Structure 1
Amino acid sequence: MKKSFKQWVGVSTTVIMAATVVAGCGSTANTAQETSKPDAAATANAKPFAGKTISLVTANHPWAEAIKPLLPDFEKETGIKVNVESFFEDQLTQKLTVQFTSGSATPDVFMYRPLQEGKLFFKNGWVQPLDDYAKKDANYDFNDFSKSAIGSTTVDAKLAGIPIITEQEILYYRKDLLEKAGIAVPKTLDELQAAVKKLHDPKNEMYGFVARGQRSPLVTQVSSFLYSEGADFTNGDKATINTPEAVKAFTTYGTLLKDFAPPGVLNMSWPQAFGIFAQGKVAFLTDANSLYKNATDPAKSQVADKVGFAVFPGGKAGSKPYSITSWGLAMNAKSGNKDATWAFIQWATSKDVVLKTQQKGNPGARASVWDKPEGTTGFPAELVPIIKESAKAGVDHDRPTVISVGEARDAVGEIVQKVMTGETNIQPVADKANQALQAIMDKDKTK
């Protein structure tokens, strides 16, 4: 029989207290106060954190909109008051950076982008490692999270946050065009290139392929090409974007955009790429599955009922799309309410709550929720098996995992854009970019 949250949080209270002691959380007075509480059985029917208030900062994101209506239930069961503030992405990063730099104890818990600012936050000591909370509570079922999602939120072998939103790169295609031309859905990059070439008809405003072409935005999407050819941005403490496999991947992506994309692709990020696909002018698009509504919503797309989904095509190393945590929840290392903060994170990322937020179209990281029919109602039926398969095979990052992410993305993006603008001798370009990425990585070691 399913436990109520009150029972569930009661069982977990002793684990939270133990983790608080192990992690060195809070003041001595706080620790004494927590250890004087009744045991788990006694607290099962009580509000273990009555009178506590925590602050939550979120992005203006669908997950935040899905979690806010659920907060009264959490507050009623635990006695914890949750004060919420929401910001646009760039404002969020700026606010957190300013507050953490000043040593602020608030917010207690916050949304963050693990692969964009996660390493910076962790290296600066702004994030509380959550290993002793999450991994030692059997009731939480930490192993239910996908391996790649947890990989995204792990820094230096420490759990810096808990995944709340995941995404993978997939292939979008026009079902009607492939059927008319007698083309099978591409399973390899070679097949994709052949299909793109066959369907490319620019005289009639039909283009074979589109994806992100802007220097920085393209990096996340070319990453799946990179992994599927057996390459990566780095190997240990060495930059590796100039290997033969990496150069092949960058050349494939860049050539697809140079020869078969609509005009202006050099300046396209995902809104423009999806926009022209939705106008019915492109046969194939590779991008994040989380953006699928831009292609399937009749209010946005002229081809809403003609869109198909497929696992990212395989290269030399098979199909290896990125499968990442795009957003996570983290705890402020200076929070004075770490026990209550973990109770919130634990609740917000529990199976029951992930099910509810996922039903609103927020792709979560718990395998058990994806395995439930009711857990997939927020997604097109054809997309669900693609997501599940991609998550199993995926790589846990979609950009170089460095502190200076922006600089690293510019270095990588430069290679692809050179291909897009007609450069044929790419090796020297890749060598120069590799030196730049190596310098960035070496600089990270001093931070």
Structure 2
Amino acid sequence: MKPIRLAASLGAAFLLSATVSTIALAQTPVCSAPVKVLAQPRDGLTLLEDSKAEFEKLAGAGFQIDYLNENDRRAKSRADASTVGNYNVYYVDEANVALFASSKWIVPLADYYPADYDYADFDPGRQKVATYGGKVWFAPLTGGGDLMVYRKDVLEAAGIQPPKTLDELIADVPKLTNPDKGMYGIALRGARGSGANVWRWMPFFKAYGGQWFDGDKPVFNSDAAVKATETYLKLFKDSAPGTQTGSWDESTGAFLSGQVAILVESTPLSGMAVDPKTSQVVGKIGFLPPPSPLPGGGYGHGLAIAAKANADDASKKCAGLFIAWATSKENEKRRLDAHQFGELNRTSILSSKEFAGIYGADLGQALAETGKVTAVNFWQDPRWPDLGDRWGIILEELVTGTRTDVKGGLNELEAYANELAKKK
């Protein structure tokens, strides 16, 4: 990959029109040693390597990023944070930020993220995901919510307007299903997992007023959970083949190959849908926020300041400066220039003319609108993956028909949650 350089004139960079470059305004170097980062592979992080000299000039020292796959990264960062503390910066995500924050393995970011780097410019949904216990813990590298991506040609042929409410979605999906023509009204996720079928089920749960816990008391075994599950199962009758035991790959693959009329999915799908290399439906699709009152399923991955390796304030400031630089407007502009759609997190980028020129104005507008309704739908607690995965098993059984008693499944989950609550 060729390095992508900053514009020779700061005035030429669209995102700097209202402010002076944060990099140009850098103060006295604050790092006395290279910043050690533990992360998982991302195109945006790889792109940072091309600008390593820039950070060295800014901070007085360089950085080293060690990459591991997602599961290994989670395991090693947990082991490192709880013992030796070799890394100054951890790559964290929505699934483990509660554990890292509550265990005091990372420190709140706000005090060490320089104001010039404009944290408020991040998409509102990503900011919500980065917040736990009322404090911000990481700066986003990737993330998003949900979008409704739909086939304009298929809906127009059926005389159906894009649904704007959940009731309209439920009514329209069966009308758009025509197996003889290889077309299905929707695609959902059936495979078990807190980040698989449960992730797609949770917006329905929240839309109907569901909550997970009241303090340490589970309150999810409710009419909202029953109705959400019944709605999910009803929609599954018109879900594309392979999705009953599939997840992200199967549902998005069905849409991108032209088999699905409407898909409510995580926002990276939208970038794939307009890319001829991955999509067979380019030029035939529209974008809207999820039908009301569905909230978007907020998720996010980003960089956090390690506690143990940064024992003094100076070290924390150094780590904070690296995080701010890595997620800066300037570096995000580089990611836009490299067409790294999944690495774009700032409203100044998503609303820019340059973004619209690459991905279309409609997509930028839809992303701005969905950011307003993006929510943290899961239980923000270190025990969430355990509870979510258990519900995923039950939900998969309901989807495949090996279990039929929705209320019985929720009763079973409640008993499991009561045992989990004792482990706090």
Q: Structure 1 length normalisation: TM-score?
A: 0.81
Q: 1:331 aligns with which of 300, 305, 308?
A: 305
2:362 counterpart of 1:387 = no
Who is 2:154 aligned against? 177
2-structure distance, mates of 1:87, 1:209: 35
1-structure distance, mates of 2:254, 2:287: 17
1:288 is displaced (CA, Å) by 0.5
C-alpha contact 1:227 1:321 (8 A) present in aligned 2:
no
C-alpha contact 2:351 2:365 (8 A) present in aligned 1:
no
Q: 1:440 aligns with which of 397, 420, 423?
A: 420
2:161 counterpart of 1:187 = no
Counterpart code for 2:400: T
C-alpha contact 2:107 2:137 (8 A) present in aligned 1:
yes
Which moves more between the two structures, 424-433 or 305-314? 424-433
2-structure distance, mates of 1:369, 1:237: 40
Who is 2:185 aligned against? 208
Aligned length: 398
Q: Judging changes above 3 Å, is the alpha-carbon distance between structure 1 residues 349 and 377 closer, same or farther for their aligned structure 2 residues?
A: farther
Q: 1:249 aligns with which of 217, 228, 231?
A: 228
* CA deviation string 1:313-355 (max 9, x = no partner): 12xxx2422233x211111111243222111112223333333
2-structure distance, mates of 1:372, 1:262: 35
C-alpha contact 2:355 2:364 (8 A) present in aligned 1:
no
2:350 counterpart of 1:367 = no
1:180 is displaced (CA, Å) by 0.8
1-structure distance, mates of 2:342, 2:181: 37
Counterpart code for 1:9: A
Who is 1:18 aligned against? none
2:142 counterpart of 1:161 = no
Who is 2:26 aligned against? 9
Q: Judging changes above 3 Å, is the alpha-carbon distance between structure 1 residues 253 and 54 closer, same or farther for their aligned structure 2 residues?
A: same
* CA deviation string 1:143-174 (max 9, x = no partner): 33444423322233333222232211122222
C-alpha contact 1:6 1:78 (8 A) present in aligned 2:
no
C-alpha contact 2:271 2:341 (8 A) present in aligned 1:
no
C-alpha contact 2:142 2:343 (8 A) present in aligned 1:
yes
* CA deviation string 1:17-53 (max 9, x = no partner): xxxxxxxxxxxxxxxxxxxxxxxxxx4xxxx236531
Which moves more between the two structures, 362-371 or 402-411? 362-371
Q: Which runs of 5+ in 1 are unaligned?
A: 11-42
C-alpha contact 2:125 2:145 (8 A) present in aligned 1:
no
Who is 1:63 aligned against? 44
C-alpha contact 1:253 1:416 (8 A) present in aligned 2:
no
2:115 counterpart of 1:141 = no
Counterpart code for 2:363: L
Counterpart code for 1:260: D
1-structure distance, mates of 2:31, 2:405: 66
1-structure distance, mates of 2:273, 2:241: 20
Q: Judging changes above 3 Å, is the alpha-carbon distance between structure 1 residues 378 and 64 closer, same or farther for their aligned structure 2 residues?
A: farther
2-structure distance, mates of 1:441, 1:9: 47
* CA deviation string 1:392-445 (max 9, x = no partner): 1221x24322213332112332453344234554222222213323432442x2
C-alpha contact 1:169 1:286 (8 A) present in aligned 2:
yes
Counterpart code for 1:429: G
1-structure distance, mates of 2:157, 2:102: 54
C-alpha contact 1:241 1:247 (8 A) present in aligned 2:
no
2-structure distance, mates of 1:358, 1:433: 43
Task: Provide the alpha-carbon RMSD of the alignment.
Answer: 2.5
Q: Judging changes above 3 Å, is the alpha-carbon distance between structure 1 residues 351 and 235 closer, same or farther for their aligned structure 2 residues?
A: farther
2-structure distance, mates of 1:159, 1:434: 30
* CA deviation string 1:229-282 (max 9, x = no partner): 22233344333322112221122122211x112333232011111122222222
Who is 1:96 aligned against? 77
Q: 1:82 aligns with which of 56, 59, 63?
A: 63
Counterpart code for 1:158: K
Who is 2:219 aligned against? 240
2:34 counterpart of 1:53 = yes
2-structure distance, mates of 1:377, 1:164: 22
2:196 counterpart of 1:222 = no
C-alpha contact 1:275 1:294 (8 A) present in aligned 2:
no
Question: How much identity, in percent, do the aligned residues show?
Answer: 29
Who is 1:288 aligned against? 266
Q: Who wins on radius of gyration, i.e. which is larger? A: 1
2-structure distance, mates of 1:77, 1:377: 32
1-structure distance, mates of 2:214, 2:359: 36
C-alpha contact 2:350 2:367 (8 A) present in aligned 1:
no
C-alpha contact 1:233 1:241 (8 A) present in aligned 2:
yes
Who is 2:279 aligned against? 301
1-structure distance, mates of 2:99, 2:274: 36
Counterpart code for 1:372: S
Counterpart code for 2:382: I
2-structure distance, mates of 1:229, 1:363: 32
Which moves more between the two structures, 115-124 or 420-429? 420-429
2-structure distance, mates of 1:210, 1:119: 31
Q: Structure 2 length normalisation: TM-score?
A: 0.85
2-structure distance, mates of 1:412, 1:68: 41
Q: Which runs of 5+ in 2 are unaligned?
A: 1-17
1:86 is displaced (CA, Å) by 1.9
